[in-house]
Amino acid sequence: MTAQFVRILRRILPRRKHPRWKKLEAALGIRIYNFDLFEKALRHPSAQRNQTRRLLQSYERLEFLGDAILGAVVAEYLYDRFPEEMEGFLTDTRSKLVSGTACAKTARDLGLGDFIELNPYMESHGGRKNNSVLADCLESIIGAIHLDSGITHSRNFIHQNILEYVDFQQLITKDDNYKSRLQEYAQARGWPQPEYFVTDTAGPPHDRIFTVHVHVNGNRLGRGQATSKKKAQQQAAHQALKSLTSNRKHFPNRS
């Protein structure tokens, strides 16, 4: 009851006229009432030096909430759209729709990178274009919309910006496990198993950025950079696959 009263109060009080908020509203296609929520939703943990403030004043808590809402809304949508499909199909399709890659693409399409608050280090290291950061921000924005305007608005946002643009025929046949696909590619040609190397680790202990390179048949073909080694490996494998398939490279076996 109190939360609902606060929402009503915010709707009748004078609103901020800062150009940044007008641009964000236009980008998201929503009306913002609680600007503090959206400031948090767009604040990367690196922007807070103090560990406690980092947790409370950055997007991390809103990301947790938005991730749950996104998963639930997508699950509900798939349940209704595919009434004849079993649990395994629904789970796999949901995973593809809410993956970091998919979320980052939506965030990039919305231009969220222009609004993120970063520290100078992350700014200089491409934080605004980093897939992990963009995906986290999309989820935190969903959490902020939910708290600011309710589940109906957050559901509408997900439908309008994610679900309406999905080519399900292509999605269903898509395999996002690039490491597995790269390994199969190498095995089919009698090559050694691809090798992954962490070539750089940057940032503070609580907010590491890992750079990984993958070597295929003795050639360095892919590079990935993310907040976890696994994500960076997937990015590197994806880049290697694109290089191999687009250029039709067939490297000789190396002893």
H-type helices in the chain, by residue range? 2-12, 19-28, 35-41, 51-57, 60-81, 87-97, 100-110, 120-124, 131-149, 151-161, 168-173, 178-188, 229-247
Is 139 labeled as catalytic in the residue annotation?
A: yes
Last residue of a domain, one of 145, 173, 201: 173
Number of domains in the chain: 2
Q: Are residues 122 and 192 in the same domain?
A: no
CA 230 vs. chain centroid, Å, equals: 14
Query: What is the per-residue pLDDT for 253?
Result: 45
Last residue of a domain, one of 112, 144, 173: 173
pLDDT tens string 148-183: 999 999 999 999 999 998 988 888 777 677 888 888
Catalytic hit among 39, 60, 63, 67? 67
Q: For residue 130, which of 56, 210, 184, 28 has the smallest C-alpha distance?
A: 210
8: in domain: no
User: Which tops the pLDDT comparison, 204 or 87?
Assistant: 87
CATH label of the domain that carries residue 113? 1.10.1520.10
Query: What is the per-residue pLDDT for 7?
Result: 53
| pTM beyond 0.75, yes or no | no
Catalytic hit among 63, 136, 139, 148? 139
pLDDT tens string 188-217: 888 999 999 999 998 887 778 899 999 999
Domain holding 104, by residue range, is 14-173
Is 117 labeled as catalytic in the residue annotation?
A: no
7: in domain: no
Q: Are residues 158 and 185 in the same domain?
A: no
Q: Are residues 73 and 197 in the same domain?
A: no
Buried b (16+ CB within 10 A) or exposed e, 138-149: bbbbbbbbbbbb
